[in-house]
């Protein structure tokens, strides 16, 4: 059951019931146990209860080590991230429309991407926009910040050159 929630964040109670072939009471007991153990979180969305893993990046990094973050994305997360990569500045509303996923599921997964350093979020008057952070963009941003620190004398030249070499 937990593996299914890890693989499909936002999976509903009814799907868990059907896949695990459990009665409602038994399933409810196990889900409450996982929530109390802070392994999952539930949310009521459009009359359906959905379940999401908590701290799954931490758990996966303990199991698999420091492999690429994108190796551990679920099918749904891969779909959302692919849309963000292909459509820089895509809005939350557009993601919902293109994926047919709930607002909560999109929000949950984009927050995960932001905490993993894969996506950045901008907000204008009416919309939330997402943009994929490639390694090149990240390196450029770090170099700009290092240069500003060097020019403002917050960083000495030796440290600056050392850090710059490590980025290249």
Does the pLDDT at position 56 exceed 70? Answer: no
Query: Mean pLDDT of all residues in the chain?
Result: 81
101-112 residue pLDDT tens: 988 899 989 988
Domains annotated for the chain, with CATH where assigned, are 2-53 (1.10.10.10), 68-132 (1.10.10.10), 135-167 (no CATH)
Higher pLDDT, 88 or 143: 88
Number of neighbours of residue 127 by Cβ within 10 angstroms = 13
The pLDDT assigned to 67 comes to 45
The pLDDT assigned to 93 comes to 92
Does the pLDDT at position 168 exceed 90? Answer: no
Kind plus residue range of the DSSP H or E element containing 158? helix 157-167
Kind plus residue range of the DSSP H or E element containing 2? helix 2-7
Mean pLDDT lowest among 113-127, 132-146, 149-163? 132-146
Number of neighbours of residue 131 by Cβ within 10 angstroms = 16
How far, in Å, CA of 87 to CA of 146, rounded?
Answer: 29
The pLDDT assigned to 90 comes to 95
The pLDDT assigned to 97 comes to 94
How far, in Å, CA of 158 to CA of 69, rounded?
Answer: 31
Helix ranges, 39-156 (H): 56-64, 75-86, 92-99, 103-115, 135-151
61-97 residue pLDDT tens: 444 444 445 556 778 888 999 999 999 999 999 999 9
Does the pLDDT at position 125 exceed 50? Answer: yes
């Amino acid at each position: 059951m937990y593996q299914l929630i890890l693989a499909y964040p936002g999976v509903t109670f009814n799907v868990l019931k059907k896949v695990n072939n459990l009665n409602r009471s038994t399933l409810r007991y196990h889900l409450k146990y996982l929530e109390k153990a802070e392994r999952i979180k539930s949310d009521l969305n459009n009359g359906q209860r959905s379940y999401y893993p908590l701290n799954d990046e931490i758990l996966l990094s303990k199991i698999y080590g420091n492999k690429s973050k994108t190796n551990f994305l679920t099918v749904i997360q891969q779909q959302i991230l692919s849309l963000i990569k292909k459509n820089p500045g895509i809005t939350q509303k557009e993601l919902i429309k293109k994926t047919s996923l709930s607002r909560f599921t999109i929000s949950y997964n984009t927050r995960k991407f932001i905490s993993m350093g894969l996506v950045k979020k901008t907000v204008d008057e009416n919309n939330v926009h997402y943009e994929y952070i490639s390694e090149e963009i990240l390196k450029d941003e770090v170099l700009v910040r290092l240069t500003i620190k060097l020019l403002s004398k917050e960083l000495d030249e030796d440290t600056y050159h050392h850090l710059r070499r490590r980025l290249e």
